Amino acid sequence: MGFDNKKFIDEFRLKGTVEMIVPISTLQLIQNQFSVTQKCGILLMDNAGNNITEPSSFDDRLLASEVIGKLIKREHGSPVYQEVDGEYIGAVPLIAKGKHFGNFIIHTLKEKGEVSDEDFQNGIHFLFLILDTIIKSGFNSYEYQIMLQERMKIDKALEETNKALNHKNNYDEMTGIYSRSYFNEKCTEMEKLENPLLCVVMGDVNNLKITNDLFGHRHGDYLLKTIARVMQEEAEPGYVVARCGGDEINVLMPNALRREADWYCHKVRNRLAEVLDCCTTPSISMGVGKRSGFDQTVKETINIADVKMYRAKVEYKNHLNITEDIYNILIRKGFLTEEYTKRVAELGDGFCRYLSSNEQTIAQMKQLSWMHELGATMLTDKVYFKAPEDRTLLETREVHKHSDIGAKIAMLHSETEGIADIILQLHERWDGKGYPRSMKGAQIRPLTRMLQMVTEYSRMVEQSKMGGYMTSQVAKQCLLEGSGTLYEPAMVDVFLQYLDSIGK
């Protein structure tokens, strides 16, 4: 690589010296020795007239000499000298890579005639040769060090790039566990080992697609990362936990017995069942394959585990009720209580019959009693239990989404799709200032207006994490205060009449 002259010059100017090429202490020793052997005064100065070394037997009177001033400002490639008032004064340039950085200023101490012109000339040329040799050696060393530093930087950058590429190749970017390619590589290695003992767990994440569709990919990604984290944390040293597809997480277990693989799956299921911060209960269908002899390949072991995983997936789907799962999460989170759900069911059924509603309306009210808030599963405890006036704009937007989510959940099953619109409208207001559609007055369906009465009253008299509860009389007064703005006036009046009729 070439030497950066500009960089060198800048560094020289910054330091005021060529210390990076030849230590000043070395130049000082050369100067002192030359002064003694040649019986002369000597001093190293830069081109601006500043001292670089300490003077050696130098006559201070000469520092202000015009001759010296001219010598140090003159850029020359070889020693120069002249006679001044009976003395010889010379300048030996300090040159590196063709650049003139300063001069050794030399003057004789002998009287005129005691040193010949030839002697002085030979002396300064001898110093020039010494300096030239030292400077070249030091410069080459300096240039070599710069080259090494640059090379080290390049090597380090390449090493970091290789590490990043290896990490990207070996690890799944989203979950942080091993990748498919790493899993396959380890499977190939296992084929070559003398010990045939091996178990493989093939896993397929449940409800990932429905989570993405209902709640968005942010929640789907979180579900996937949660399951991957739990599977990694429960893995023994030596296990390879890898994401081998969109919703596929597999585990390679060298030297593991079947009972150890079964116990691993059991621990993973139990851990996931305790998770409360996902929109649905995180779970993964798993199948275990065991190899105990060389007559069975790793690929065949994987196929065995894959078949068992598929069977587990079918069984899970046969028993899956996503709405009940979400409802149970809300109960465990404390967003709903069974007492609240029971009260809504009883009041809703009674209110429908009080209004002589048909059987379809009564049946839908029963479904709504426990399904009306399912969309809230996407909310965190912090947001759900925060008073509306204390929520940030972003938090408010998240809350407003849950009505749409709840309606989508109801649409999952044909027997509940008829209540989707009711759930969607539950948080609309009579004055049109509700959400999510800002519907107003008679645009809100009658069953929605009935459900609003039942749920609002039930929530007011419910003792919850939000703190305290109201008496029936206070709750009734709150409904009256919301008449005409939050609620339909006629519906408030008839609901209060119903409460009076049952002694509430």
Q: How far apart are CA 447 and CA 422, in angstroms?
A: 7
Is the whole-model pTM more than 0.85? no
pLDDT at residue 109, rounded to an integer = 59
Q: Is the dihedral of CA 406, 409, 413, 417 positive or negative?
A: positive
Residue-wise pLDDT for 395-433, tens only, equals 999 899 999 999 999 998 889 999 999 999 999 999 999
Same fold flag, 5-148 and 325-501: no
Residue-wise pLDDT for 124-165, tens only, equals 777 777 777 776 666 666 555 666 677 777 778 777 877 777
Give the CATH fold of the 325-501 domain.
Answer: Hypothetical protein af1432 (1.10.3210)
Q: What is the b/e burial string over 143-175, where b = at least 16 CB atoms within 10 angstroms of the residue's CB?
A: beebeeeeeeeeeeeeeeeeeeeeeeeebbeeb
Tokens of 484: 């005409």
Helix (H, G, I), strand (E, B) or coil at 415: coil
How far is residue 217 from each of residues 212, 254, 259, 285, 301, measured CA to CA in Å?
5, 34, 36, 21, 33
Residue spans of the domains in the chain: they are: 5-148, 178-318, 325-501
pLDDT at residue 7, rounded to an integer = 41
Helix (H, G, I), strand (E, B) or coil at 458: helix
pLDDT at residue 15, rounded to an integer = 39
Residue with tokens 């459900």: 451
How far is residue 197 from each of residues 187, 201, 238, 255, measured CA to CA in Å?
13, 14, 13, 5
pLDDT at residue 148, rounded to an integer = 64
Bridge partners of 179, per DSSP, are 243
pLDDT at residue 20, rounded to an integer = 58
pLDDT at residue 2, rounded to an integer = 35
For residue 340, give the H/E element and its range: helix 338-354
Ramachandran quadrant class, 367 (left: phi over 0; alpha: psi -120 to 50; beta: rest): alpha
pLDDT at residue 105, rounded to an integer = 84
pLDDT at residue 340, rounded to an integer = 92
The list of the chain residues with pLDDT below 70 reads 1-21, 63-64, 72-77, 96-99, 109-117, 135-148, 463-468
CATH number, span 5-148: 3.30.450.30
In SS3 terms, 146-167 reads as HHHHHHHHHHHHHHHHHHHHHH
CATH superfamily of 178-318: Reverse transcriptase/Diguanylate cyclase domain (3.30.70.270)
pLDDT at residue 11, rounded to an integer = 39
